[in-house]
Protein backbone atom coordinates (compact mmCIF):
# COMPACT_ATOMS: atom_id res chain seq x y z
CA UNK A 1 0.00 0.00 0.00
CA UNK A 2 2.88 2.36 0.67
CA UNK A 3 4.26 1.70 -2.77
CA UNK A 4 0.91 2.59 -4.32
CA UNK A 5 0.77 5.88 -2.40
CA UNK A 6 4.34 6.68 -3.43
CA UNK A 7 3.55 5.87 -7.08
CA UNK A 8 0.42 8.05 -7.00
CA UNK A 9 2.40 10.88 -5.36
CA UNK A 10 5.12 10.64 -8.02
CA UNK A 11 2.57 10.68 -10.87
CA UNK A 12 0.74 13.61 -9.25
CA UNK A 13 4.01 15.52 -8.80
CA UNK A 14 5.00 14.87 -12.40
CA UNK A 15 1.55 15.99 -13.58
CA UNK A 16 1.70 19.14 -11.46
CA UNK A 17 5.20 19.91 -12.69
CA UNK A 18 4.19 19.41 -16.30
CA UNK A 19 1.11 21.62 -15.81
CA UNK A 20 3.15 24.33 -14.13
CA UNK A 21 5.75 24.21 -16.90
CA UNK A 22 3.08 24.35 -19.58
CA UNK A 23 1.41 27.32 -17.90
CA UNK A 24 4.66 29.25 -17.61
CA UNK A 25 5.88 28.68 -21.17
CA UNK A 26 6.16 31.75 -23.45
CA UNK A 27 2.85 32.33 -25.20
CA UNK A 28 2.82 33.34 -28.89
CA UNK A 29 -0.85 34.31 -28.71
CA UNK A 30 -0.05 37.41 -26.66
CA UNK A 31 2.42 38.61 -29.30
CA UNK A 32 -0.07 37.87 -32.07
CA UNK A 33 -2.79 39.84 -30.26
CA UNK A 34 -0.42 42.78 -29.77
CA UNK A 35 0.45 42.77 -33.48
CA UNK A 36 -3.23 42.57 -34.40
CA UNK A 37 -4.05 45.48 -32.08
CA UNK A 38 -1.28 47.57 -33.69
CA UNK A 39 -2.58 46.70 -37.16
CA UNK A 40 -6.14 47.63 -36.23
CA UNK A 41 -4.96 50.92 -34.75
CA UNK A 42 -3.06 51.79 -37.93
CA UNK A 43 -6.10 50.84 -40.02
CA UNK A 44 -8.37 53.04 -37.93
CA UNK A 45 -5.96 55.97 -38.24
CA UNK A 46 -5.88 55.51 -42.02
CA UNK A 47 -9.66 55.37 -42.21
CA UNK A 48 -9.91 58.52 -40.12
CA UNK A 49 -7.60 60.33 -42.56
CA UNK A 50 -9.64 59.11 -45.54
CA UNK A 51 -12.87 60.23 -43.87
CA UNK A 52 -11.35 63.62 -43.10
CA UNK A 53 -10.29 64.10 -46.74
CA UNK A 54 -13.64 62.86 -48.06
CA UNK A 55 -15.46 65.37 -45.88
CA UNK A 56 -13.65 68.34 -47.37
CA UNK A 57 -15.52 70.20 -50.09
CA UNK A 58 -14.31 69.90 -53.67
CA UNK A 59 -12.84 73.21 -54.75
CA UNK A 60 -12.86 74.11 -58.44
CA UNK A 61 -11.19 77.37 -59.30
CA UNK A 62 -13.02 79.94 -61.40
CA UNK A 63 -10.93 79.36 -64.53
CA UNK A 64 -11.61 75.62 -64.60
CA UNK A 65 -15.30 76.16 -63.83
CA UNK A 66 -15.56 78.63 -66.71
CA UNK A 67 -13.79 76.26 -69.09
CA UNK A 68 -16.03 73.36 -68.13
CA UNK A 69 -19.12 75.53 -68.53
CA UNK A 70 -18.10 76.46 -72.07
CA UNK A 71 -16.75 73.15 -73.33
CA UNK A 72 -18.12 69.77 -72.19
CA UNK A 73 -15.57 67.35 -70.75
CA UNK A 74 -16.26 64.88 -73.58
CA UNK A 75 -14.83 67.48 -76.01
CA UNK A 76 -11.64 68.26 -74.07
CA UNK A 77 -8.53 66.48 -75.36
CA UNK A 78 -6.69 66.97 -72.06
CA UNK A 79 -9.49 65.11 -70.25
CA UNK A 80 -9.44 62.14 -72.64
CA UNK A 81 -12.22 63.33 -74.94
CA UNK A 82 -12.22 64.32 -78.57
CA UNK A 83 -13.92 67.28 -80.25
CA UNK A 84 -14.78 65.01 -83.19
CA UNK A 85 -16.33 62.25 -81.10
CA UNK A 86 -20.04 61.45 -81.04
CA UNK A 87 -20.00 61.81 -77.25
CA UNK A 88 -18.82 65.41 -77.67
CA UNK A 89 -21.62 66.13 -80.14
CA UNK A 90 -24.17 64.62 -77.77
CA UNK A 91 -22.90 66.58 -74.74
CA UNK A 92 -22.82 69.82 -76.72
CA UNK A 93 -26.37 69.24 -77.93
CA UNK A 94 -27.54 68.65 -74.36
CA UNK A 95 -25.66 71.72 -73.15
CA UNK A 96 -27.33 73.97 -75.70
CA UNK A 97 -30.65 72.34 -74.91
CA UNK A 98 -30.34 73.35 -71.27
CA UNK A 99 -29.44 76.96 -71.93
CA UNK A 100 -31.59 77.98 -74.89
CA UNK A 101 -35.30 78.49 -75.26
CA UNK A 102 -35.16 76.92 -78.71
CA UNK A 103 -34.15 73.46 -77.64
CA UNK A 104 -32.34 71.41 -80.28
CA UNK A 105 -33.44 67.84 -80.98
CA UNK A 106 -30.68 65.49 -79.76
CA UNK A 107 -32.32 62.12 -80.53
CA UNK A 108 -30.38 61.51 -83.76
CA UNK A 109 -27.02 62.17 -82.07
CA UNK A 110 -28.10 60.09 -79.08
CA UNK A 111 -29.01 57.15 -81.32
CA UNK A 112 -25.68 57.47 -83.16
CA UNK A 113 -23.85 57.36 -79.81
CA UNK A 114 -25.87 54.34 -78.62
CA UNK A 115 -25.17 52.49 -81.87
CA UNK A 116 -21.47 53.21 -81.45
CA UNK A 117 -21.49 51.97 -77.88
CA UNK A 118 -23.30 48.79 -78.89
CA UNK A 119 -20.62 48.16 -81.49
CA UNK A 120 -17.86 48.63 -78.89
CA UNK A 121 -19.54 46.47 -76.27
CA UNK A 122 -20.48 43.67 -78.64
CA UNK A 123 -17.03 43.33 -80.23
CA UNK A 124 -15.53 39.87 -79.66
pLDDT in tens, 60-78: 777 777 666 778 888 888 8
State the total domains in the chain: 1
Q: Is the pLDDT of residue 123 over 70?
A: no
Give a yes or no: residue 105 inside a domain: yes
Cα-Cα-Cα-Cα dihedral sign, residues 52, 57, 61, 65: positive
Cα→Cα distances 14→21, 98, 101, Å: 10, 90, 98
- Is the pTM here over 0.85, yes or no? no
Answer whether 93's CB lies under 8 Å from 104's CB: yes
Q: Which residue segment(s) compose the domain that 77 sits in?
A: 62-121
Span 22-51, mean pLDDT? 81
Give a yes or no: residue 77 inside a domain: yes
Give a yes or no: residue 47 inside a domain: no
Give a yes or no: residue 5 inside a domain: no
Give a yes or no: residue 67 inside a domain: yes
Give a yes or no: residue 74 inside a domain: yes
Answer whether 75's CB lies under 8 Å from 93's CB: no
DSSP codes of every residue in 32-43: HHHHHHHHHHHH
Amino acid sequence: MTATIVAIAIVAALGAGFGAGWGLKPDGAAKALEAQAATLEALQEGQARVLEQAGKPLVIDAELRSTLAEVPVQCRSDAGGSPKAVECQWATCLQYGQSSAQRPECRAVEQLMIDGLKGEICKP
